[in-house]
Amino acid sequence: MAEKIQIGVLGSGTMGNGIAQIAATQGHDVIIVDNNEEALVNASKKLQKIFTRLVEKKRMTTEEMQASISRTTYTTDFESLSNSKLIIEAIVEDLNVKQQVFEKLENIVSEDCILATNTSSLSVTAVASGCKKDSRVLGIHFFNPAPLMPLVEIVPGLATDEQTLQNAKQIIDSWGKTVVIAKDTPGFIVNRIARPFYGESIRILEEGVADVATIDWALKEYGFRMGPFELMDLIGNDVNYKVTCSVFAAFFYDQRYKPSFTQQRLVEARRYGRKSGHGYYSYAENAQKPEA
Ligand code: NAI
């Protein structure tokens, strides 16, 4: 197990909360910062629920659950990240917002704090570009659901130094994850390959080759763990659409990565997938009203 440093997580959504769960389970103190109070309350409740389920399934003891919960702090106060040694940012997939947040973080954290972005598609080099010490910034890209998915892509930006890369890798290795180091190119490895996978699935749907459930079923029968539409609903259609648009632009509008109207309309209708209760499928039983 790695040294018990304080881990900061920025963003308490799907990914931030999953990353926080891993870090707390690994014995770290975890500070989760979000600018949305409601998101923090929901995330905290969700984490409690997940831990309770793990206890029921005897995958953790009640004492371990209580210890993990007591190690996590949910707050809107950025200043509380001042003692963190690694901060993993998992906020909205928007370059300007991420750049602003990284610049802000630099004024709060200590010299030796590693700053990581969980971006799926943006340039790590660009995210780091406004930082005075850009050598400490890199990509640490978890997959959804973070606690269950073994793979983590670690992406050094143009300015990232070797020590930062090795220190980050050591921490993520110690969490039992499988690390692959990828060059800072749009979508890195997995998301680059995944773009045409989702895109072609939507095109097949639009051409009327088969319906959503049939395409998902066929792919699963073929050996995929989840169908493309189930997966997009899990990722969040808002997040997935943003990633598609960003990879499309980053490849100078190469048609292979072109987004679709179907995806765009779902986002406009706030049919984000599981998290909003509707997406390609309906999850009406535990539907939550999407944020405005
Ligand atoms: P999400 O929409 O579930 O959560 C984002 C959270 O960030 C929200 O709670 C929001 O209130 C907060 N936030 C937004 N702007 C903020 C700011 N300026 N300061 C503080 N908090 C802010 O998003 P999700 O899905 O967790 O994605 C987060 C990042 O992780 C994105 O960069 C995304 O591309 C990446 N990612 C997403 C995956 C997925 O399957 N959803 C998989 C891997 C990476």
CA 32 from chain center: how many Å? 14
Could you give the ipTM of this predicted complex?
0.99
Residue 19, ligand 1, Cβ within 6 A? no
**Distance from the CA of 158 to the center of ligand 1, in angstroms?**
24
**Distance from the CA of 7 to the center of ligand 1, in angstroms?**
17
Task: Report which protein residue has its CA nearest ligand 1's atom 23.
Answer: 13
The catalytic residues are: 120, 141, 153, 191
Q: pLDDT of 102-139, one tens digit each?
A: 999 999 999 999 999 999 989 999 999 989 999 999 99
Task: Report which protein residue has its CA nearest ligand 1's atom 35.
Answer: 119
Spatial contact of 152 and 174, defined as CB atoms under 8 Å apart: no
Distance CA 31, CA 73 (A): 5
Domains and CATH numbers, the chain: 6-181 (3.40.50.720), 192-279 (1.10.1040.50)
Q: Residue 31: which pLDDT band, with cuts at 50, 70 and 90?
A: very high
Q: Classify 260 in phi/psi space as left (phi over 0), alpha (psi -120 to 50) or beta.
A: beta
Q: Which mutation among 12, 102, 120 tests ligand 1's pocket best, with the greatest number of atoms within 8 A of CB?
A: 120
Q: pLDDT of 270-290, one tens digit each?
A: 999 999 999 999 998 655 444
Distance CA 280, CA 271 (A): 8
Q: Residue 291: which pLDDT band, with cuts at 50, 70 and 90?
A: very low
Task: Report which protein residue has its CA nearest ligand 1's atom 31.
Answer: 93
pTM of the model: 0.92
Spatial contact of 155 and 124, defined as CB atoms under 8 Å apart: yes
Residue 73 corresponds to which tokens in the numbers above? 């702090």
Q: Residue 2: which pLDDT band, with cuts at 50, 70 and 90?
A: low
